[in-house]
Structure 1
């Protein structure tokens, strides 16, 4: 085992940064994927046994039978509140229970009534209760269509690719080492015995009884060909014992009228998912991929099995609730057509409707799929949030700037970096410590020489209203002198190997055990370890980073855990993609508990699953200091936002390699407009604090970090909204402009909320960029120059190194705090500047949200939430939460109205009835009206009238 770790470290330290694709399986090397993909579209062997149908008020059940092997499945169909349909398919009588994913859904989804419209020998038609929506279950071959009026919204098994590998007894269960000769003799003995006991009538009854399907199938399996990889599989030097045999599942979905699908992160690929015909499917299997490749469907650190489909008429979604290794195939009948071919179709009046077909393949578990029927993008976001929850509301500091590297050397180094930010007048909120801060990679500890007095270090940061994040990974050093290890072992909380002993593998500490985070008792114990009296040296301004939680096992298959390792009763095969989800869950709960339930946690995770948004932040992993990695950070974060994970970012500057000063500046300019804003770098790279690249570049970085801090009120308001709705914070343009096909594949620019459009400069040596400003009849204002531009145009923008093209939508009001200080907490009571960008109707609106920025007290109605509205030359602040109670010392210092006319006077009227004149300036060249020091409290009612 040592050589594997040594080799891995040697590659790390050699400066050779490239993924070894040979470490990771292709579909052909994954036996179940290869088997499933060998099935070609055609008539399905499954038919619905309509005589078994049972319909209650909320649930349809009926049996499906595979006419090839006579195995029966049970189909369940539910209509869920919020315009969703749930379909579950499992074996009718499995030999043993199959894994069903727990803890991801926030509740058992509430149902709505189903009603029978018609039934005949061909199938069943059910009303879904929403307008003219109905579901048609066709009997032979089995197919399920969801329709609205005469339109098919989605079809299941229309290509006949439903395939459900039933659990079975292994042919040679008698002895795994039995020879073929002995096996043959044993078969003959069984045959003779069964023949001597034969009863024709009993056989008929047995054949007709579904309860005997498993036994009947065992006999049939004896005659079936046992393919390679069904009962054991080897990849490189690793063997997977597969004690339960083949258990994979597959189902296809057809999406008529759809050419654009998105989601299923995490992949380093374009926002619009590509067709996989003739190539590799997209893979969902949490893996530690060492410097990942771009623009391919390889699995990465996280897996969210959610896909969105969009056209100009509708948005829908598919949530495939399965935590096993999963592959997703995408095909399209419009893929590969040239523009000429499409024009020819149009001229010739082709009736061909574009269609995207999607096939999901998972190694184990059951089919449990939620079909989210929109119809708008925001409906789909709300539907998914109702199932798995919304983005955790981070403390305000979590949205500020984070400074990290592997590693800050010691306490003196931390102090020096902290002082450097002050000396160069660059704000930051968090400094981070990687694995070297621990005592020999023992998490929850500190290096006794380099970090001998961690509380002194933390107190020094606290004085400046700054914070720290320290890494706590889920691989535990096997060391009898290490308290954490001893506790986990004594409580039996480690994952087990297939033989029942503690599973061990190699990671940063050397030989390591892996806690079983699927066990709620283990999670509860882990959470208790964050208590101040357990995690020695920790304080309330210390937060947590969970890395390597795929989990990473340096000497394991594909650098992760063996699939036949055991988490309680379940194999890692069944639960693998949940591991990081559970680690972050337990850690976040620990940070909440240590404060008595008062403080909001901040936890960053590398591995994630559906529902991980409830527990904190995600980043895109070990990227590289290359321009293409800068570009790919945009679609990677956009994809995460579409599936609920809004708090996403990429390592600014790139983790591996060394950025040029130009790339570093451009990355800061991009990262400052992405939700999670952290610089990070590899141990083997030169230091790259923002002031180490010359005064000119320091000034450029300082400016964009200050832009981020000025916008924190807007970011915070958006995350408050995301917490309540599930709407993404960083979003593709098509979300806001769903009928504008020009936006459907666009992923080099994005929106923050609905009111800021950002087109980062991501090309080396760029002298200009072309930004698309959407919205016919809308206007957009350059936030730096206030120049107004019309929507629905491609705008060429000359750029210099100081440029980052950002536009505010006409019709919006955005609050900022332009007095930037050393950290966000230092700005708590500072005044606001309101940027009012008038739309074509000379109106605008926005919001202002204020709370204490770090506790859960907002859930006790301790906050300010106000609507800012401009209409008929009156700007007003209206209380959106009259039952909430909170006060602020912040006031409105300045108001800029973009696209304004010059008034003769400006009058402020406050809630106590007082009126007074407000000083103003008007820039006629840019039509910008500036109101200076109106002075009203940010939480009060007031109106400003232009006359």
Structure 2
């Protein structure tokens, strides 16, 4: 049966697209439906000012729901760097609601700052935090946040706050549930029987053409599905009927596709509206395969946040994908602000952009007297469980919001150099001979790469931390051969453990009581790649520690120090469960339900894996872990890819907004499978995809097991050359990429940026997501349409000039131009006024380039100036955190290029030197060029000058990059 099951998996993966019916809509999720049906208006929640308690940095005040007389506590904290934190909790809960512990999403307890109380007047409590203000309107409750007295964010302006207090199940509810069970048992006994057998029934709706050949163990025939749809429609009609105390059929128990969610704690959802007055555009809340600027959801489902395994996901759809971050940024020409909702439960977000209803802000006189045509974006945030815990980041500029968010959830640590180079992957390389052949053939065709990957087929029967010895009989030798060329290997380690008494990892976890439980307290048993499986409970520190220990060389037999890890299926994916993941009433060892913590499970998997690789090297070497599932804080311990995309032009185009959204939300080390995971893309698409990915952070090709082999050397000659040139271009820009990741760790700035992050006041680019910036210096407009040989490029920036990165042809800012883009060309442009380091010598891998010389690309602005930085360290260890690095600032001004050392660690040395300086935008050929070193010695340098291109090339200055020096042009 297991073999048939896996065969059907492969058939589904290669022959079918996403089946939306396997995933809930808002109308099929009772808590979402309850909140979404709330009409805007005056809120039932009021503040009781007489209960206000103040400290230097926070306040507490009572809030009353006047509809049911339930009391709540409102806490507001002033945090450093212009951040407000707003928490609303029950005053007298009958159970503890889950709050994410410090160290999971928040890197530490946030530092507090003085919150100044400015008094009460006209039903308002007024506070200030630096130049930011907060006003608490007491009746009804509303919180307004202002920058220099101009409102930028408001909570509960539409009166959609709803906090479902914890309740005991009434006798009436128990009777309803018992009657429902009786009805289900009599009308759908087949479903009940299958659930007892715990078979992988989710395939019935996905591969119905194949299931016509198979009898009962797989459930839900077409007739049963139609009957279920009728039952769902009846339930929805019943839910729409008014009922006492807002009760509906889904509050204490809910059924979806034959699976029943027991909801032992009843209705416990929370929701509130968040308005952004003055803002037409909001961004963020990844992961969705949709535009970068978030869309109105009036005529669609809300954006869903619930980590799910979605095969062949659709584009331009708000449905959930593999990972989620409840962080949204609003931007206009004056301000950038952010909202982070700290909640790990399933969430939905409605968005509506319109002109502001100024009556909402009738008490803010300065705002009311402004222009009546004020844009506003209203959002409605809904979560199934937990508390209201919101961070309001006051900016006011993009760089400020990214720094503020990084201070809360952490920044992306600097990866080892090899990790930002090229990765070659597919499901699966067959055996050691296949690995050797790929390695040798890449060298034969002069295609550099740093990492070769192995998917699930390398294991012994899908038992992770093992090898199939019939195909990988000497993995240590295989790893040693790769290491001799500076290369690494990544193997997949998924979180599900095959339930096999002969599998040591499973028996250890079972015997030590480390496994997630079902609602009855037994080890949860679900289906994934190995068949019957169980899952370690990564919410528990001792379980994460056990998992980390499995990566030691003693425990992971056949591994080596150049082997790194890929965590897939960690949403988690459970083939025979509702929505292909854990049931919501699965229990963790602490007693919390999956519904309370679902979205952090996958993050804790890759955190534990990261910790294991750290321990393996005695905390000296930087790990690399790739994860599919993620949450806020994932950036600290994992790179992310966008999952099971398709080998189609539309999916290539979608990589840009998806990457921009991830980078905005802190997931800086991210990328999409080059060529697409599914299908057999033509060679033109593959070649163009390589080009587009050159300037995206994570650079990996990957493909499904049933796709044709498509290593770059297998492409037709003209496309192979394009792909190879793109890979080599990536390697030449590694010094710039390395600098960007250093800045990512130290400042929170994303390496891949939307245009408005660099040009924040240019309103025409706020919706543009077909081009992007890499750092502050490179503008990229990939070719994303078949047969396209020219592109329309918008060049932003008033008084800015742009240089083609190959020809140095000049383009003026604030205009749209058609640029020729034959197959061999990637349209990319360096901003005038910037200096970029490159390494132009070809190597087989990045690990062999550590001491190679650097070429500086200096592109002058209209005033003949340029500036940039160079960062170097040992490229692999953590010694840079102890100061073992060099950072220099390069400035070109008045025909002089000066290298000033910002930092050079005591005892740190590097052999990297300046081989060449290319200066674009020089209008005269200098007569003499001299190098002046720190000791004042002076050397004449040779040069060439292209008068037509206005490009000066200075040859072999020969000076160390970590020394002070000056190049004078006369």
Matched, 1:576 2:561: no
Corresponding residue for 1:459? 480
* Match in the other structure for 2:957: 934
Confirm or deny that 1:850 pairs with 2:872: yes
- The 5-angstrom pairing of residues 51-200 of structure 1 reads 51-102=50-101, 103-120=104-121, 122-128=123-129, 130-131=130-131, 133-172=132-171
Equivalent residues in 2 for 1:425-444 (5 A)?
425-444=446-465
Q: Matched residues in 2 for 1:135 and 1:27: separation? A: 33
Compared with structure 1, are the counterparts of its residues 714 and 592 closer, same or farther at alpha carbon in structure 2 (3 Å cutoff)?
same
Report the CA distance shift for 1:179/1:459 in structure 2 as closer, same or farther (over 3 A).
closer
1:372-387 equivalences in 2 (<5 Å)? 372-387=393-408
- Residue 829 in 1 paired to residue 828 in 2? no
Alignment equivalent of 1:892, drawn from 881, 902, 914: 914
The CA deviation at 1:932 is 1.0
Unaligned runs of 5+ in 1: 181-220, 336-348
* Aligned positions, number: 892
Distance 2:798 2:243 in 1: 66
CA apart distance, 1:173: 8.8
Structure 1 residues 845 and 622 mapped into 2: Cα distance closer, same or farther (>3 Å)?
Answer: same
After TM superposition, list the pairs within 5 Å mapping 1:494-505 onto structure 2. Answer: 494-505=515-526
Moved more, 155-164 or 692-701: 692-701
Structure 1 runs of 4+ with >4 Å offset: 1-8, 173-180
**2:640 is the alignment partner of 1:641:** no
**2:758 equivalent to 1:736:** yes
Task: Tell me, in whole angstroms, the C-alpha distance in 1 between the residues paired with 2:175 and 2:456.
Answer: 44
| Unmatched runs of 5 consecutive residues or more in structure 2 | 180-241, 357-369
1:195 aligns with: none
Distance (whole Å) between structure 2 residues aligned to residue 17 and residue 905 of structure 1? 67
1:5 to partner: Cα distance: 4.4
* CA distance 1:104–1:179, shift in 2 (3 Å): closer
Q: Secondary structure at the match of 1:460?
A: helix
Deviation per CA, 1:247-267, whole angstroms, max 9, x where unpaired?
A: 000011111110010000000
Cα displacement (A) at 1:148: 3.2
1:52 Cα offset (Å): 1.5
Instruction: Give TM-score scaled by structure 1 length.
Output: 0.92
CA offsets per residue over residues 1-23 of structure 1, 9 Å max, x none? 9699458515336x313000000
Q: How many angstroms does 1:926 deviate by?
A: 0.6
* Residues 664-683 of structure 1 aligned to structure 2 (within 5 Å): 664-683=686-705
| Other-structure match for 1:909 | 932
Match of 1:745 among 767, 781, 804: 767
Structure 2 Cα separation of the partners of residues 554 and 2 of structure 1: 12
Question: Structure 1 residue 745: deviation in Å?
Answer: 0.7
Counterpart of 2:712 in 1: which secondary structure?
coil
d(CA) in 2 for partners of 1:17, 1:811: 50
Q: Among 622, 629, 649, which residue is 2:651 paired with?
A: 629
Aligned partner (choices 349, 357, 362) of residue 328 of structure 1: 349
- Residue 224 of structure 1 and its aligned partner are, at CA, apart by 3.1
Q: How does 1:470-549 map to 2 (within 5 A)?
A: 470-549=491-570
For residues 774-799 of structure 1, what are the alpha-carbon distances to aligned partners after superposition, in whole Å with 9 as ceiling and x for unaligned?
11111111011011111111121012
Structural RMSD (CA):
1.8
1:370 aligns to what?
Answer: 391
Looking at structure 2, the residues matched to 498 and 783 of structure 1 have their Cα atoms a distance apart, in angstroms, of 59
Q: What do residues 711-765 of structure 1 show as CA deviations (whole Å, max 9, x unaligned)? A: 0000001001101111100000000100001110111110010001111000111
Residues in 2 aligned to 1:525 and 1:703: alpha-carbon distance in whole angstroms:
44
* TM-score for both structures, normalised by structure 2: 0.90
Deviation per CA, 1:33-61, whole angstroms, max 9, x where unpaired?
01111111111111111121111111111
Is 1:763 the counterpart of 2:764? The answer is no
Alignment check: 8 A CA contact 2:885 2:905 kept: no
Task: Return the offset for 1:881.
Answer: 0.6
Q: How many Å separate the matches in 2 of 1:27 and 1:827?
A: 52
Preserved CA contact (<8 Å) 1:285 1:303: yes
Determine the C-alpha separation between the residues in 2 that align with 1:835 and 1:225.
Answer: 66
- 1:231-254: CA deviations, max 9, x gaps? 111100111000000000001111
Query: Matched residues in 2 for 1:651 and 1:321: separation?
Result: 30
Q: Residues 873 and 884 of structure 2 are in contact (CA less than 8 Å); yes or no, is this contact kept in structure 1?
A: yes
Offset at residue 120 of structure 1 (A): 4.6
Residue 166 of structure 1 aligns to a residue in which SS? coil
- Partner Cα separation in structure 2 for residue 480 and residue 18 of structure 1: 36
Pair 179,495 (structure 1): closer, same or farther in 2 beyond 3 Å: closer
Name which of 422, 447, 453 aligns with 1:401: 422
2:729 equivalent to 1:700:
no
Q: Following superposition of structure 1 onto structure 2, how do residues 277-288 of structure 1 map, counting pairs within 5 Å?
A: 277-288=298-309
Task: Tell me what 1:389 maps to.
Answer: 410
Match of 1:41 in 2: 40
Give 1:616 deviation, angstroms: 2.2
**1:691–1:697 Cα contact (<8 Å) kept:** no
The corresponding residue for 1:866 is: 888
- Structure 1 pair 334–517 and aligned structure 2 pair: CA distance change class (3 A): same
1:923 partnered with 2:946: yes
Q: Deviations over 1:193-233 (max 9, x none)?
A: xxxxxxxxxxxxxxxxxxxxxxxxxxxx9963531110111
Q: Is the 8 A contact 2:279 2:376 kept in 1?
A: yes
Could you tell which deviates more after superposition, 366-375 or 893-902?
A: 893-902
1:178 Cα deviation after fit: 8.9
Shift of 1:821: 0.6
Secondary structure of the structure 2 residue equivalent to 1:853: coil
